[in-house]
Amino acid sequence: MEQKRKQLARLSVGARTVEELRQRKKLVAEIATLRRQEEQYWRQRSRALWLKDGDRNTNFFHMRAGERKRKNYISKLIDDGGVEKAGNDAVAGVAIEYFRHIFTLSNPANFDELLQGLEGRVTDRMNVGLRGNYREEEVVEALNQMHPLKAPDPDDMNALFYQSFWHIIGPDVVKTVMGILRVSFFARANVNEATVVNDILRSYEAASGQLVNLDKTMVSFSRGVTDAMRGRVTECLGVTEVVEQERYLGLPTVIGLSKKVITNILRDKLSKILQGWRRKILSRAGKEVFIKAVANSLSTYVMSVFKIPANFCNELHSMVSRFWWGHREGKRGISWVA
C-alpha cells in the first residue's frame, strides 16, 4: 500500500496526461480496496465483533487487537512436577499434557450399577439415529453454525475461510473430519452418609472413566457440626474443609439475610467495566451498543437467583447514566431531558 501511495503522490503533482489520469484513477481504487482489506483483517484480529467494518475503524481495531494479544498471552506455566516452563513450545506441551490427562478414559466399567434405578428416556428409534454413521451434511451443518470470525484453527484460519471456499476445500475437510470421528451433593454430616457419597463417586469414576480430583474438592459444614465430626467426615472423604467461602459462577456460595455482599459484587463489577470503557474510543453509538449488550445484561443472572432491592437497581441505572452522558470524576456532563 505504501508503494501505491507514493505512486499516487507522484501522479498528483503538475499537469497530467490522459494516461496518467487513468493510472491515478486505478491507483485510487486499488488503495481503497487495500484499505478495506486491512480494516477487515484488523477487525478479525481484534474480535470487536459488535462494531461493523467499512467505517474506516482500522486504528481502533488495531488498538483492540494489540490489547487482546497482551491480555491473552501466556508467558509461562507450571507443570505437574512444579517446574516452571517458559517459551511457546514448552508452554504448549504443558497445556497439551494437562488436557490429555483429564480427558483420557481409564477403562470405564460398571455402567449397570451407575444407571440402576434410572428410567430410560432414549427410545430405540432415537438410538438408531444416534448410533448411525456420520454424514457429510452434518459436517456442513456444524460448520455453518459456527461464527465466521471466532475460534481460528492453529493456522489462524477461522470459520469464514472454510465457509467461503467450501466449494474448493470441502471434500478434503469432510474426509479429515470423518476420519477423526470414526476413531474413536447435599448430605448429613456423619461418617455413614460420607461413605455413601464416596461409593457414589467411585461408581461414577468406574462408569465414566473420569476421576474426581480430590485436591480441588472441598466440603462445607453448617454451624451445628462439631469439630470432631468435621474431622471424621473430611478424613472419610479424603478432602479438606472450606476455610473461607469462595465464589461459584461469580457469586458467593453462602450468604446470609443481608444482600450487601451481592450488591457490592455487582457494583464493583459494573464500575470496573465502565471505567474500562471510558478509556476506549467510543462514539455515542458505540456506548449504546455496550450498554445494551453488556451493562444491561450484567445483573440478569444474579437477579434470576437473588431478589435485588429496588434502590440498588436505581443505583446501577445512575452509574450507567453517568457513563452515557459523559460524567467523569470531578466533572459533570450535561444530562439532557427529552
Judge if 311 and 286 occupy the same domain: yes
Judge if 7 and 58 occupy the same domain: yes
Q: Report the alpha-carbon distance of residue 205 to residue 212 in Å, rounded.
A: 7
Lowest mean pLDDT among 83-87, 106-110, 162-166: 106-110
The pLDDT confidence band at residue 184, using thresholds 50, 70 and 90, is very low
The values of phi and psi at residue 218, to 5°, are -135, 160
pLDDT of res. 106: 66
pLDDT of res. 338: 46
Burial status of residue 74 (CB atoms within 10 A of its CB: 0-12, 13-18, 19 or more): exposed
**Residue 36 domain flag:** yes
Judge if 175 and 205 occupy the same domain: no
**Residue 99 domain flag:** no
**Residue 196 domain flag:** yes
Q: Report the alpha-carbon distance of residue 49 to residue 38 in Å, rounded.
A: 16
Judge if 174 and 197 occupy the same domain: no
Q: Report the alpha-carbon distance of residue 52 to residue 48 in Å, rounded.
A: 8
Collapsing DSSP states into helix, strand and coil, what is residue 81?
Answer: coil
Sign of CA dihedral 295, 301, 303, 306: negative
Collect all residues with Cβ–Cβ distance below 8 Å to 238 and sequence separation of at least 6. Answer: 214
Within the chain, residue ranges assigned H as helices are 2-11, 18-46, 58-72, 88-103, 111-115, 124-131, 136-144, 159-164, 166-182, 191-208, 227-237, 260-278, 284-290, 300-305, 310-324
Judge if 242 and 273 occupy the same domain: no
**Residue 43 domain flag:** yes
The values of phi and psi at residue 240, to 5°, are -105, 165
For residue 61, give the C-alpha cell.
481495531
Q: Report the alpha-carbon distance of residue 327 to residue 325 in Å, rounded.
A: 6
Total of domains in the chain: 4
**Residue 230 domain flag:** yes
**Residue 107 domain flag:** no
Judge if 205 and 239 occupy the same domain: yes
Closest by CA position to 217, among listed 193, 190, 181, 241: 241
Judge if 140 and 198 occupy the same domain: no
**Predicted confidence (pLDDT) at residue 185 exceeds the cutoff of 80:** no
**Predicted confidence (pLDDT) at residue 262 exceeds the cutoff of 60:** yes
pLDDT of res. 61: 65
How does pLDDT run across 274-283, given as a tens digit for each residue?
A: 777 766 667 7
**pTM of this prediction?**
0.35
End-to-end CA distance of the chain: 47
Judge if 179 and 197 occupy the same domain: no
Q: Report the alpha-carbon distance of residue 231 to residue 229 in Å, rounded.
A: 5
Lowest mean pLDDT among 31-35, 47-51, 82-86, 300-304: 47-51
Q: Report the alpha-carbon distance of residue 278 to residue 266 in Å, rounded.
A: 18
Q: Mean pLDDT over residues 200-229, rounded? A: 78
Judge if 231 and 211 occupy the same domain: yes
Judge if 166 and 203 occupy the same domain: no
Collect all residues with Cβ–Cβ distance below 8 Å to 174 and sequence separation of at least 6. Answer: 136, 139, 140
Range of the domain at 40: 2-72
| Domain end among 252, 282, 297 | 252
**Residue 84 domain flag:** no
